[in-house]
């Protein structure tokens, strides 16, 4: 049952990065869109994320519940020592959702729309940035549960070059995913070309920011290169990710929308697998060589068993409904048949 819970935990993190990340990326793309194209870009964004944007946060909720119930020591350490980036991330989610709802459904169009737009795009950048900061902090050995002062416990547990670089990398990945997904959401050749150009730009930014992650890891003595390249799984995953990127651009040129979405998701999956495999099951690496493990710091066996059953049972009800929701909003509305009334006297 523990394996079931760990699989759900990894899958929830991955799905939040893929779906929620693309959701955030839509706001990131809007930030770097020229004013002349903003109206058309927003129309495409509403079409793509409007119906399902709240459902994306389900994966974050599942992740939090799994950690809270099944791995309380891990949940407690992260929520206390990383409460500042966590709070900023959660505030970003709330602000972004609120701004999206108000700017889309507000009956009065006035100067408040400018504020809504700014909150939406800024929080779309802040939220994935601090999500990456939290992930980078978890493996950078900067968290000290026994710190003697506020700064060491709650500031320098995450305020380092490596977590910040991971945060920047996460932002660029989200922008890249959004651009790839949005290519298939418009039939306008001009808009499709703009999203393809943004995909190239964000892909380049992801490569540069990824290199900065390695530089930051080197300067802070984090063996990131060893985690990736000293094992067969890491080398294979990175090779497949590189191959999928080349295939992605080939099929993008061919106009194969579904294939490029699958390849983009596969690429991100391989990156996450590479970064998590090497130090598994140690999900949090603490200062002074200590760690928090999914095996050693789990809850009681009965708790894990109940959690696994709840996850499996919940999947039976939730996943079909979620897939149907995604499917239904991808269908183009049909024009109503004209009805001719016949009168008889």
**pLDDT the model gives residue 29:** 86
**pLDDT the model gives residue 1:** 85
pLDDT in tens, 26-82: 888 888 888 877 777 777 777 766 556 667 788 888 999 999 999 999 999 999 999
Residue 256 has which token pair? 């194969």
pLDDT in tens, 289-302: 888 999 988 889 89
- Whether residue 344 has pLDDT greater than 50: no
- Whether residue 335 has pLDDT greater than 60: no
Three state DSSP letters for the chain: CHHHHHHHHHHHHHHHHHHHHHHHHHHHHHHCCCHHHHHHHHHHHHHHHCCCCCHHHHHHHHHHHHHHHHCHHHHHHHHHHCHHHHHHHHHHHHHHHHHHHHHHHCCCCCCHHHHHHHHHHHHHHHHHHHHHHHHHHHCCCCECCCCCCHHHHHHCCCCCHHHHHHHHHHHHHHHHHHHHHHHCCCCCHHHHHHHHHHHHHHHHHHHHHHHHHHHHHHHCCCCHHHHHHCCHHHHHHHHHHHHHHHHHHHHHHHCCHHHHHHHHHHHHHHHHHHHHHCCCCEEEEEHHHCEEECCCCCCCHHHHHHHHHHHHHHHHHHHHHHHHHHHHHHCCCCCCCCCCCCCCC
Average pLDDT of every residue of the chain: 85
pLDDT in tens, 140-161: 999 998 888 999 999 999 999 9
Question: Average pLDDT, stretch 220-242?
Answer: 89
**pLDDT the model gives residue 125:** 93
**pLDDT the model gives residue 319:** 80
Closest CA to 299 of 67, 3, 97: 67
Distance between start and end Cα atoms, the chain: 74
User: Please, what's the largest Cα pairwise distance for the chain?
Assistant: 94
Contacts of 92 (CB under 8 A, 6+ apart): 123, 126, 127, 130
**pLDDT the model gives residue 338:** 47
Closest CA to 174 of 216, 201, 202: 202
Per the document, the length of the chain is 345
Question: Average pLDDT, stretch 82-98?
Answer: 92
Question: Average pLDDT, stretch 15-36?
Answer: 84
**pLDDT the model gives residue 49:** 67
Question: Average pLDDT, stretch 226-230?
Answer: 87
Cβ–Cβ under 8 Å, residues 135 and 16: no
- Whether residue 340 has pLDDT greater than 50: no
**pLDDT the model gives residue 54:** 64
pLDDT in tens, 170-202: 999 999 988 888 887 777 778 788 888 888 899
Question: Average pLDDT, stretch 294-321?
Answer: 89
- Whether residue 337 has pLDDT greater than 60: no
Angle at 130 between CA 272 and CA 241, to 5 degrees: 20
Cβ–Cβ under 8 Å, residues 75 and 31: no
């Amino acid at each position: 049952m523990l394996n079931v819970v760990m699989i759900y935990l990894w899958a929830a993190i991955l799905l939040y990065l893929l779906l929620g990340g693309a959701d955030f990326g839509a706001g990131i793309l809007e930030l770097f869109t020229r004013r002349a194209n903003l109206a058309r870009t927003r129309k495409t964004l509403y079409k793509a994320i409007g119906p399902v944007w709240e459902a994306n946060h389900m994966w974050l909720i599942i992740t939090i519940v799994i950690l809270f119930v099944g791995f309380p020591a891990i949940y407690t350490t992260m929520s206390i020592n990383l409460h500042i980036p966590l709070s900023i991330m959660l505030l970003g989610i709330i602000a972004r959702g609120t701004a999206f709802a108000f700017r889309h459904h507000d009956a009065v169009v006035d100067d408040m729309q400018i504020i809504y737009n700014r909150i939406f795009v800024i929080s779309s950048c802040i939220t994935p940035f601090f999500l990456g900061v939290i992930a980078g902090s978890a493996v950078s050995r900067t968290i000290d549960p026994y710190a003697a002062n506020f700064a060491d416990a709650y500031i320098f547990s995450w305020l380092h070059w490596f977590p910040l670089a991971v945060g920047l990398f996460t932002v660029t990945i989200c922008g890249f995913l959004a651009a790839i997904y949005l290519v298939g959401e418009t039939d306008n050749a001009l808009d499709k070309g703009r999203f393809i150009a943004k995909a190239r730009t964000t892909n380049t930014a992801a490569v540069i920011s990824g290199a900065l992650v390695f530089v930051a890891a080197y300067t802070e003595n984090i063996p990131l290169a060893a985690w990736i390249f000293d094992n067969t799984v890491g080398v294979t995953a990175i090779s497949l990710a590189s191959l999928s990127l080349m295939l992605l651009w080939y099929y993008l040129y061919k106009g194969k929308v579904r294939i490029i979405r699958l390849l983009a998701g596969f690429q991100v999956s391989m990156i996450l697998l590479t970064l998590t495999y090497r130090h598994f099951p140690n999900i949090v690496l603490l200062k002074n060589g200590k760690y928090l493990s999914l095996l050693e710091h789990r809850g009681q066996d009965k708790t894990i068993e109940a959690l696994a059953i709840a996850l499996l049972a919940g999947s039976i009800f939730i996943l079909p409904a979620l897939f149907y929701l995604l499917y239904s909003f991808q269908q183009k509305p049909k024009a109503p048949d004209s009805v001719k009334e016949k009168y008889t006297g």
